[in-house]
Chain A
Amino acid sequence: MADTATLSAAGGSEPAIGRGLKGLLLVAIPVFLVGWLIIYPIFAAILSTLFVAGPDGVQFSTASYQFFFSDPYSRANLALTLWTTSICAVLLLLVGLPIALYLRFSTSRFADLVQSLAIFPMFVPSIILSYALIRTIGPNGTVDILLNAVGLPKLPTPYLTPWGPVIGLVWDNLPLTVLMLTAGLAGISSPSIEAARDVGAGPIRVFWYIILPRMGNSILVTISFTVLGIFSSFTLPYVLGPASPEMMGPFMLRTFNDLYDPLNAKTQAVISFVFCLFFGLFYVWSIARNQRSQSR
C-alpha cells in the first residue's frame, strides 16, 4: 500500500515537472528575443551615454544630458513632442469617444458603416497617409482647389506647421482609440444605463455620472497606448511637420545621420524612452488596478 502511494506520488509529480519545462521552453525564445533586441539595447544605450570614452579612458559623465537640457533647440524639440502628444491624446478622445459611444449604443445598420470608416485608417500605411494629406490640405491641395473654385481665398495650410503631424497622427491613431474605447464601453451593461435613465438621468447625466466613471480605466489605457505611439512616431512628423522645432523622432534621425553625433542621438533616445517608460508604467498600473477591481 505504501509502495503504491509512493509510486502514485512520483508518477503525479513527474508530468508536472515535464509540463513546467515545456512551458519554460515555449517562453524561452520570446524571452530571449526580448532580452536581446529590447532589454540589452536599452541598457547598452543608457550605459553608453553615461560612460563615455575620454582622453583618460572611459569615465562616468552626464555631459550629454546636461547639453540636452541646456540646449534651447533640444528643449524646444522635446516641448513640441510633448505638445503634439498631448494635443493628439485630447483630440483622439474628443473624436474617438463620441464614435465609440455611437457604436456601443446604436442599433442602426448605419453603425456598421461608421465602424468600417473608423477602422479604415488602420489599413493605410503612414507614408501613404502623409502624401494623401499633403495632396489634400497642403498648398494647392484639394481644399485650396475647392475654395478657389467657389471664389474663396486660400486657408493657411497646416502642412509643415505643428498642426500637420497632429492631423495626421489623430487620423492614424483613431482606429486603435475607437476599438479600445468601444471595448471599454462594452463592459458597461445596458441595464445599468437604463437604471440611470429610469431614476431620471438624461443622456448627458448618464454619460457624466454613469458611463464616464466606469470607463475611466479604458480611457487611461487608451491614452497610454496612443501617447506611447505618438511620442515615438517618426513618419508623419518627418513628412508633415515643421523643420524647426521638430519632434524627437526626426530630431534623433537628423542628429545621427546628418550631424554624425551618435552620443547625442542616443541621449535623445534615452530621454524619449524615459518619457515613454513613464506612460508604460502608467499603463501597467492601470491594468493591475483593473484586474484588482475585477477580482473583488
Chain B
Amino acid sequence: MARLKIESLRKSFAATTAVDDFSLDVGDGELVCLLGPSGSGKSTILRMIGGFEQPTSGMIRIDGQDVTRLSPERRPTGMVFQSHALWSHMNVFNNIAFGLKLRSLSRGEIQRKVDQALELVGLAGYGHRQTFQLSGGQQQRVALARSLVLEPKILLLDEPFASLDQHLRERLREEVRDIQQRLGITTLFVTHGQDEALAMADRIVVLRNGQCEQVDAPDVLYRNPQTEFVAGFIGQMNFLSANVEGGRFRHPDFTLDVEVQDGPAVLALRPEALRLEPSDSPDAAGVTRATDFGSHIMVDVELRDGARLKVMTAPDARWQKGQTVRLAASAFALYRQNRLLARGGLPVETVEGRSRHALA
C-alpha cells in the first residue's frame, strides 16, 4: 500500500514537449488509468514514474519519498511492459526468481515466493516451462508475476494487453483487476482503449498533448465530460456545431434554449441520449445505415446540413435505409473552445418541415 504524488511533471524531447505540467495524486490501493491517444504522453509519464525517463522538471513522490532522480532499480515500483519483455534464455521460474535472487534471498524463500506468484496469476506448475512455450496471455501473466513477486509499492502497467486478442484481453483485465484488489496494490495503468479504462479504473486521467484534460471516476467522466475532447474520446458522442444567438442554440435541425453568451458552440449528444421516431415529413432526417450489435441497434442518421448522428435504439426496433425519422434528445452538453458551457436533460427536438438530404 502506497501513495503516489506527482507534482508539475514536465518532459521535453528537444523542441517537443511530451508532458506538460502534469500533477496527480494516487491513493492507497487505487487503480488509476492514464488514457489518451497516441502521443498524448501517457507512456512517458509511466516511464518517468518507473525511472526509465528523467523528467525535465517536476517531482515524483512515493509515500512521501522523493524518487524523481532515483534509478529504476532503486525505486519501489514494478512495471509490466506491453511486449511482456520476458527473458527468453530463462524459464518461467527463473524469470520470476531473477529479482529475488538479486536480493540474495535463500533458495527456499525464492521457491516459496515464486510458487505463490505463479499461483496468484493462475500458472501454478508452469515454472519449468520455457517462455516461448507459453501463449501471449500466459507470457503476460508471467510478466505480471515477475513484478508482483517483489511486492512493489506501485505497480505500473504499460498497455499490457495491447498485443493480445480481444477475448483474451477482456479476460485478463478482469483477472488483473481482481489480483490488484486482492493485493490492494496502488496501480497506474496506461491504455489507449477506453473500454479497458472504463472497466478497470477507479479513476481515469484523460491526457491530450501531454496535458491533463480531466481526472475523474469512469462514470463521472462518461456522464459529465468537462471538455469537448473528453466528450469525444470517452464513449461515442455526436457533435453539432452552430451559433448561440439570443440565448438559443440554432442548428438547422436542433434548437435549444441555453443560458450562455452568444457565439459559436458545439452541442454534444450521446447516441443513447437520442431517441428516434418514424416521421412522415419528407423534410425529416433520414436513416443511412442500421447496424445490429445484438444488444442494441446503432442507427446512422443524416441531418439536412449533411451532419451524421449515431442513435442507439432497442434491439427489437427495425429501421430501413432511407426511412425518414424524427430525433429527440434527452440529455446534452454544450462546449465552446473545448470547455463545458452548459449541460442538461432538457428535451431537444428536431425541427420538422425542413428539406431532407437525398439518401443513398
Given A191-B81, A296-B132, A199 and B87 contact (CB-CB distance below 8 Å):
no
B79 contacts A198, C-beta separation under 8 Å: yes
A210 contacts B85, C-beta separation under 8 Å: no
Chain B: number of interface residues, binned into ranges:
20 to 34
In the complex, what's the smallest C-beta–C-beta distance from B147 to chain A, in angstroms?
Answer: 7
B88 contacts A214, C-beta separation under 8 Å: yes
- Could you say which residues of chain B place their CB within 8 Å of the CB of A198? 50, 72-73, 77-79, 147
- Could you say which residues of chain B place their CB within 8 Å of the CB of A195? 79, 81, 85-87, 143, 146
Residue A205 at the chain B interface, CB threshold 8 Å: yes
Q: How far is the CA of A210 from the CA of B79 in the complex (A)?
A: 17
In the complex, what's the smallest C-beta–C-beta distance from A289 to chain B, in angstroms?
Answer: 13
Residue B112 at the chain A interface, CB threshold 8 Å: no
Residue A192 at the chain B interface, CB threshold 8 Å: yes
Residue B209 at the chain A interface, CB threshold 8 Å: no
Residue A125 at the chain B interface, CB threshold 8 Å: no
A192 contacts B102, C-beta separation under 8 Å: no
Q: Is the interface of A mostly helix, strand, loop or mixed?
A: helix
B87 contacts A200, C-beta separation under 8 Å: no
- Could you say which residues of chain A place their CB within 8 Å of the CB of B81? 191, 194-195
- Could you say which residues of chain A place their CB within 8 Å of the CB of B132? 296
Per-residue B-contact encoding for A182-205, CB less than 8 Å = 1, 0 else: 000000010110111111111001
A214 contacts B99, C-beta separation under 8 Å: no
Per-residue B-contact encoding for A202-224, CB less than 8 Å = 1, 0 else: 10010001100110000000000
- Could you say which residues of chain A place their CB within 8 Å of the CB of B87? 192, 195-196, 210, 214
A201 contacts B85, C-beta separation under 8 Å: no
B98 contacts A199, C-beta separation under 8 Å: yes
Residue B197 at the chain A interface, CB threshold 8 Å: no
- Could you say which residues of chain B place their CB within 8 Å of the CB of A196? 87, 98
Residue B138 at the chain A interface, CB threshold 8 Å: no
Residue B103 at the chain A interface, CB threshold 8 Å: yes
Which of chain A's residues 73-117 have a Cβ closer than 8 Å to chain B? none
Total residue contacts A-B, CB cutoff 8 A? 63
Residue B91 at the chain A interface, CB threshold 8 Å: no
- Could you say which residues of chain A place their CB within 8 Å of the CB of B146? 195, 199
A192 contacts B150, C-beta separation under 8 Å: no
Chain A: number of interface residues, binned into ranges:
10 to 19
- Could you say which residues of chain A place their CB within 8 Å of the CB of B82? 191
Q: How far is the CA of A145 from the CA of B78 in the complex (A)?
A: 58
- Could you say which residues of chain A place their CB within 8 Å of the CB of B103? 200
Q: How far is the CA of A251 from the CA of B98 in the complex (A)?
A: 52
In the complex, what's the smallest C-beta–C-beta distance from B281 to chain A, in angstroms?
Answer: 59
- Could you say which residues of chain B place their CB within 8 Å of the CB of A202? 71, 73
In the complex, what's the smallest C-beta–C-beta distance from A192 to chain B, in angstroms?
Answer: 5
A199 contacts B102, C-beta separation under 8 Å: yes
Q: How far is the CA of A135 from the CA of B1 in the complex (A)?
A: 68
Q: How far is the CA of A195 from the CA of B85 in the complex (A)?
A: 6
In the complex, what's the smallest C-beta–C-beta distance from B129 to chain A, in angstroms?
Answer: 13
A213 contacts B89, C-beta separation under 8 Å: yes
Q: How far is the CA of A214 from the CA of B88 in the complex (A)?
A: 8
- Could you say which residues of chain A place their CB within 8 Å of the CB of B147? 198-199
Q: How far is the CA of A213 from the CA of B91 in the complex (A)?
A: 13
- Could you say which residues of chain B place their CB within 8 Å of the CB of A192? 85-87
Q: Which residues of B contact A (CB under 8 A)?
A: 50-52, 71-73, 77-79, 81-83, 85-89, 98-99, 102-103, 132, 143, 146-147, 150
Of the A-B pairs whose beta carbons lie under 8 Å apart in the complex, a sample of 27, sorted by A's number, is: A189-B85, A191-B81, A192-B85, A192-B87, A194-B85, A195-B87, A196-B87, A197-B51, A197-B73, A198-B72, A198-B73, A198-B77, A198-B78, A198-B79, A199-B146, A199-B147, A199-B150, A200-B73, A200-B103, A200-B150, A201-B98, A201-B102, A202-B71, A209-B98, A210-B87, A213-B89, A296-B132
With A195-B143, A202-B71 given, can you name 16 additional A-B contacts, CB distance below 8 Å?
A189-B83, A191-B81, A191-B82, A195-B87, A197-B72, A198-B77, A198-B78, A199-B78, A199-B150, A200-B73, A200-B103, A201-B73, A201-B99, A202-B73, A209-B98, A214-B87
* Pairs A-B, 5 closest by C-beta atoms: A199-B99, A191-B85, A195-B85, A197-B72, A191-B81
